[in-house]
Amino acid sequence: MNCFLETLKVILLSLWFNVESFIHWFIPKKRKNISGEIVLITGAGSGIGRLMAQEFAAHGTTVVLWDINQEGMKESARLAKQSGAIRVHYYLCDCSDKNEVYRVADQVKREVGDVSILVNNAGIVTGKTFMDAPDSLIEKTMEVNTMAHFWTYKAFLPAMMANNHGHLVSIASSAGLIGVNGLADYCASKFAAVGFAESVGLELLATGKDGIKTTIVCPYFINTGMFDGCQTKWPRILPILDPTFVAKKILQAVLTDQVYLLLPKSMYIIAGLKNILPMKQGLLLGQYLGAFSVMDSFQGRNRKKD
């Protein structure tokens, strides 16, 4: 195709995609049927993981739960079964350990079948400034929040590719789009998770595997206990998010093959402004919105227990 025709094609398709996007503001996208799918959720013993298990279960799926918290998984499994799951299976798995991920993944394939919807949800936060964070905690943050995604993809993506069918869900963070004072290791891990999911999604499209969808979720702080103590300066613009609301939005994004889900909606504007404003103005806006002080009162789930 010569340059003129290729340019014309890009212009016409760009116009159509914008019209299509505008139409979907008023007419919701058709939702796909996920009944009968096998859904694996990491970090499913509590919080968003547990709520997502219930949401997926309500659509007649088989739910597979991974966590390091046995008792938490038992309760999540009970609630998922109660919500309508066809079958519920749960496995102890430390997602920071590559060998354990591969071992438990093989067990899932033997006992349950090929996973067709993978939700990488497990995550941790140190809540310390970079210089105060022990090396071991920094390494663990990267292992759980980033590297675990590599190993779960390696384990379950081949079957999806063979069938050209599946869905990869990455629960990242708004801290994977914009740096936050006091969250250097966490931001690094979430930036990496976003970049990894985007890149693999492009690889799949480039190889013709367009039946495998990708959803990247970037929420602001969620009220699950993980960021207990953190306060938002402007709750109307950047509210601490309700976990049930987030779980329902994630499911809706999966059902409509939405690639990016930022919560709250103001994050779309803030993330966009970051890339176009002069650096000094961006810093001024960040300070105004509280990015410099949001971690000042951090307690976190573990510290609370201690």
Active site (catalytic) residues = 186
Helices 70-83 and 47-57, interaxial angle, to 10°? 30
d(CA 156, CA 146): 16
Opening angle at CA 171, ends 185 and 147, nearest 5: 50
Q: What is the DSSP string of 100-139?
A: HHHHHHHHHHHHT---SEEEE-------S-TTTS-HHHHH
Tell whether the torsion through CA atoms of 112, 114, 117 and 123 is positive or negative: positive
d(CA 176, CA 10): 30
d(CA 171, CA 271): 17
Q: Which residue has the tokens 């499913």?
A: 44
| Residue 99, number of CB atoms within 10 A of its CB | 9
Q: With beta carbons less than 8 A apart as the criterion, state whether 187 and 176 touch.
A: yes
d(CA 137, CA 303): 14
| Sequence-distant (≥ 6) Cβ neighbours of residue 87 within 8 angstroms | 62, 63, 112
d(CA 66, CA 39): 11
Q: What is the DSSP string of 164-184?
A: T-EEEEEE--GGGTS--TT-H
